Amino acid sequence: MFYKQNIILIISIRVILTLIIFVFFSCRENILSSENSIGNINEPIKTKSPESYTFEINASKITFNETDNTQLNITRADVFVSIRNYSSGIVSITVIGDNKLNLYSASFTDNAAGQSTKITNHVPEKVRLEFRNFSGNLKVRVTKSN
């Protein structure tokens, strides 16, 4: 009887350890570091408020175009662009204002360490992003300027 209980206990421990190891390693793939707020690969995160618009993506060889309404109603803004961990492709960013004016336009084929530009006397209504085989971490932020 005692021998049978020991075998059941040993088998139970092995099964539990196997499940713990399986769950631990299968869940580690998409854990984000505290430095990375971007999210899963090729899934953009957008945040909008009355005074700011942010688009972030952790991209891996993506090709697509997107035009997004900022929902901003400000006439003085800062456009901030950051690209980290660049490895391929091109991304073009255009901020479109009232009267369909291009208020900011730039293309990137390398890392960009927080480039910032001011927009005055126009409302930044839309942000157009064009990705061509782009891989890297992109952050675009349009915020109210002081």
Domain boundaries, the chain: 1-31, 45-144
Please tell me what DSSP assigns to residue 99.
G
Asked if residue 72 lies in contact with residue 119, where contact means CB atoms within 8 angstroms, the answer is no
- Is this model's pTM higher than 0.85 or not? no
CATH number of the domain located at residue range(s) 45-144 in this protein: 2.60.120.20
- Which of 61, 62, 55, 58 is closest to 32 using CA atoms? 58
pLDDT in tens, 77-130: 999 999 999 999 999 999 999 889 999 999 999 999 888 899 999 999 999 999
What is the pLDDT, as a whole number, of residue 2? Answer: 62
pLDDT value at position 19?
A: 72
List pLDDT tens digits, range 41-91.
999 999 999 999 999 999 999 999 999 999 999 999 999 999 999 999 999
Q: How many residues does the chain have?
A: 146
